[in-house]
């Protein structure tokens, strides 16, 4: 059975991108957030994103109009109650995610599938707070969602083949490439990516190089499309810290300890692009970054 209506919980960076992508592909989307400002921002970002895509010739006017019609942006949690699939994209804090799924469990029909966009939390443990462990799956989109090609799918201990097949079909309809990861902290992408970003921050702390030089080392020398500091600023330094903390506590190994300088930036509310200041500063998100 295909999905008709998809719910998205959390209208931050990822929720916005997921909503835009899914609505563009012809699904009805209900986007919910507890923060009305986040919903206003999402409406603006999604409309802006669609306009840009039309200007670049990626989307037609017709698709833009249809996408906007497919969208319902709401501050009423109950509006998620008629979705066939709900994708959770609230911050990377286990207690927040559990609260969302416990709430969804009460309002959604038994047939609804639950997915988490978590970057690193165990899917099996998130699923355990619901009575639909077979219909629970990790659906990890990459940032920026409309552009990045990959979706990492994570099967929890009890995820059924039927759920996996439905999600596989859905990812195909989104035009993305799917990889499957076992339910291990950080899955595949962040297990490899985050320790690299964290190590770059240790290297900066030790004075080995500036953020610009370390980024150049990895782009021009390592063949990466973005350097670790530019990428960390785009992901959000709070998200990077949460992921390192989860991997550190789950594996119990010192190689995953977050760099103290990363923690300092988060404490100072310098979270990267989203606050206008991280390892680089951003006068305007659309203009090139400049060094502090
Ligand atoms: P974000 O901070 O930009 O957005 C989170 C949103 O959730 C905010 O708008 C907040 O108001 C909302 N929220 C908080 N509690 C809520 C609740 N109870 N109900 C509804 N909304 C609630 O975070 P983000 O960067 O979009 O990350 C969201 C998730 O996606 C995290 O699990 C993160 O690890 C994962 N993720 C992030 C990236 C990235 O590059 N930022 C990439 C892949 C996955």
174 and 25 Cβ atoms separated by less than 8 Å: yes
According to DSSP, the residues that pair with 31 across neighbouring strands are 8, 73
70 flagged as catalytic: no
- Give mean pLDDT, residues 245-250: 97
Place 287 in a pLDDT band, splitting at 50, 70 and 90: low
Q: Which of 7, 8, 13, 188 to mutate to test the pocket of ligand 1 (most atoms within 8 A of CB)?
A: 13
Residue 248: how many CA atoms within 13 Å on its side-chain side?
A: 15
- Give mean pLDDT, residues 218-225: 98
Reported as a single tens digit per residue, the pLDDT across 21-70 is 999 999 999 999 999 999 999 999 999 999 999 999 999 999 999 999 99
Place 2 in a pLDDT band, splitting at 50, 70 and 90: confident
190 flagged as catalytic: yes
Domain range list for the chain: 5-181, 190-290
- Class assignment of domain 190-290? mainly alpha
119 flagged as catalytic: yes
Which residue's CA is the closest to the ligand 1 atom numbered 1?
Answer: 12
CA 266 to centroid of chain Cα atoms: 18
Give yes or no for residue 267 having a pLDDT over 60: yes
Question: What CATH number belongs to 5-181?
Answer: 3.40.50.720
Q: Decide whether any atom of ligand 1 lies within 6 Å of the 36 Cβ.
A: no
CA-to-CA distance for 292 and 282, rounded, in angstroms? 9
Structure token digits, residue 25: 């592909």
212 flagged as catalytic: no
The runs of H, that is alpha helices, within 132-275 are 161-173, 189-205, 211-216, 228-235, 237-251, 260-267
Q: 3-state class of 45 per DSSP?
A: helix
Q: Decide whether any atom of ligand 1 lies within 6 Å of the 63 Cβ.
A: no
List 117, 120, 181, 190, catalytic entry: 190
> Which strand ranges, in their side-by-side order, compose the sheet holding 5-9?
71-74, 28-32, 5-9, 85-88, 113-116, 136-141, 150-155, 177-181
Q: Which of 9, 12, 95, 96 to mutate to test the pocket of ligand 1 (most atoms within 8 A of CB)?
A: 12
- DSSP states of 72-107 as a string? EEES-GGGGGG-SEEEE---S-HHHHHHHHHHHHHH
Place 292 in a pLDDT band, splitting at 50, 70 and 90: very low
Same fold flag, 5-181 and 190-290: no
């Amino acid at each position: 059975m295909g999905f008709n209506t998809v719910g998205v919980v959390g209208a931050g960076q990822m929720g916005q991108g997921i909503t835009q992508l899914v609505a563009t592909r012809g699904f009805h989307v209900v986007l919910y957030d507890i923060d009305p400002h986040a919903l206003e921002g999402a409406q603006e970002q999604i409309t802006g994103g669609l306009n840009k895509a039309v200007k670049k010739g990626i989307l037609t006017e017709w698709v833009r109009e249809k996408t906007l019609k497919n969208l319902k942006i709401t501050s009423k949690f109950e509006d998620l109650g008629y979705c066939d699939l709900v994708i959770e994209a609230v911050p990377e804090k286990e207690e927040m995610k559990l609260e969302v799924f416990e709430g969804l469990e009460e309002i959604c029909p038994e047939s609804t599938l639950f997915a988490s966009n978590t970057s690193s939390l165990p899917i099996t443990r998130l699923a355990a707070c619901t009575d639909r462990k077979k219909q629970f799956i990790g659906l990890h989109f990459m940032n920026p969602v409309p552009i990045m090609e990959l979706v990492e799918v994570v099967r929890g201990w009890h995820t059924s083949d039927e759920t996996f097949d439905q999600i596989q079909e859905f990812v195909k309809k989104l035009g993305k490439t799917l990889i499957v990861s076992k339910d291990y902290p950080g899955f595949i992408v962040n297990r490899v990516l985050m320790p690299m970003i964290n190590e770059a921050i240790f290297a900066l702390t030790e004075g080995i190089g500036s953020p610009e030089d370390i980024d150049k080392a990895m782009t021009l020398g390592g063949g990466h499309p973005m350097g670790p500091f530019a990428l960390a600023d785009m992901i959000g330094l709070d998200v990077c810290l949460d992921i390192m903390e989860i991997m550190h506590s789950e594996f119990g190994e010192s190689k995953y300890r977050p760099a103290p300088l990363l923690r300092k930036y988060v404490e100072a509310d310098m979270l990267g692009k989203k606050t206008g200041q991280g390892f680089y500063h951003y006068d305007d998100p659309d203009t090139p970054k400049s060094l502090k």
